[in-house]
A = this chain, B = another copy of it.
Amino acid sequence: MARGIAQELEHDDRVVFLGEDVASAGGVFKSTVGLLDRFGPRRVRDTPISEQAILGAAMGAAMTGLRPIAEIMFSDFLAVCWDIVANEIAKTRYMTGGQVSLPLVIRTANGGGLRFGAQHSQAVENWAMAVPGLKVVAPATPRDVVGLFAAAVRDPDPVIFFEAKGLYPGKGEVPDGEIVDELGTARVLRNGRDCTIVALAAMVPRALEAAETLAGLGIDATVVDVRSLVPLDTRTILESVAATGRLFTVEENPRLVGWGAEVVSIVAEEAWSELSGPAVRITTPHVPLPSADALEDHARPSAARIVETVRKTLG
C-alpha cells in the first residue's frame, strides 16, 4: 500500500495524504511507513482523532486545487464522519449544478478476519454504494491495490477505497514500474461453464479456492472479481451469467442490502431469461461480527460454505 501512495505522491504534487498516525508512525497497519521521510510533513500529515475534520479538510482541499488522500483507519469509523462522506462529499457536485469538483480518495481498512470484534471488523462497502456521488473500489490483490489506487487518485470524482484488512498479511506479485488500472472493470479470474461466482475483496481468494474444490466435484465455475462497485461493470457480469445461466454472489457484509443484492437484482431484471435457476447470495449472516476466532470464522463466508452452497443449489 505504501508503494501505491508513494507512486501517486510522486506522480502529482497536488496529491497530499492525511490521517491518524499515518506520518511519524507509518500507519497502524504499517502501510504508510517511509512516506513522511520521503515526502515531508507538508504532504504527509498526522491529524488528531477528528474524522470529520479529516474528511472536511480533504474536501475543502479538493475543492481548491489539491488531490487529497485521507485515511480513515478502520472503515467502521466512517460512521463518525458519515455526514461528510454522504451529505457533503457525495452531494456537492450535484447540488451546485456541477460547479465543484472533488478529486479525493478516502482509504480505509475494511472487513473482518483479525478478531477485532464488532466495532473494528465490518465490511461496509454497501454503505458507500448506497450513496450517489461516491465511487467505491475494493481490490483483492496487491497488484490491484496499487493499480486501482492510482486510478482512484487520478479520478476526478471522490472514491472510497476499501482495503480488506483480512488480506493485509497476504502476498502477491506486483510488477515493477508505474501501475495504473481502470475503475469500473471487473475481472474474470476463472472461466467455467456451470455457474458464475461473483466475489469482492477478501472473498475473492475464497471464491477461487471454492472453484478449485468444485472443479474436483465436477462443477466448473466462473469466478468474477468485481473490484469496483461504483462504477459497476455490469457488462462482464451479465455476459458471464448469460454464458453459465447461474449466479452466486459472495459477500462479506451482513446479509441485508449488500452489493450482492444489487447484482442479483440487475440480473433478475436484465438477464432473467438467461437464468436457469435461482440466484443465490452467500453472505455473513445479518449479525455484527463476533470476536472469538471460532465465531468469526463461522460468521464470514468460507470456501467450504461457498462449495456447499453451490453444490446444493446446482445439485
Contacts and interface: CB of A to CB of B under 8 A. Distances in A.
Given A90-B288, A261-B264, A277-B272, A256 B119 contact: no
Interface in A258-315: 258-262, 264-265, 267-270, 272-273, 275, 277-281, 286-288, 290-291
Interface string A109-145: 0000000011100000011011111000000000000
A179 B272 CA distance: 43
Given A257-B257, A261-B264, A130 B119 contact: no
Given A76-B87, A95-B288, A273-B278, 9 more contacts: A91-B288, A129-B257, A130-B258, A132-B288, A256-B262, A261-B262, A264-B269, A265-B268, A269-B279
Interface of A: 76-77, 79-80, 82-83, 85-87, 90-91, 94-95, 117-119, 126-127, 129-133, 230, 253-262, 264-265, 267-270, 272-273, 275, 277-281, 286-288, 290-291
9 contacts: A79-B86, A94-B118, A95-B119, A132-B287, A261-B262, A264-B264, A265-B279, A269-B281, A272-B277
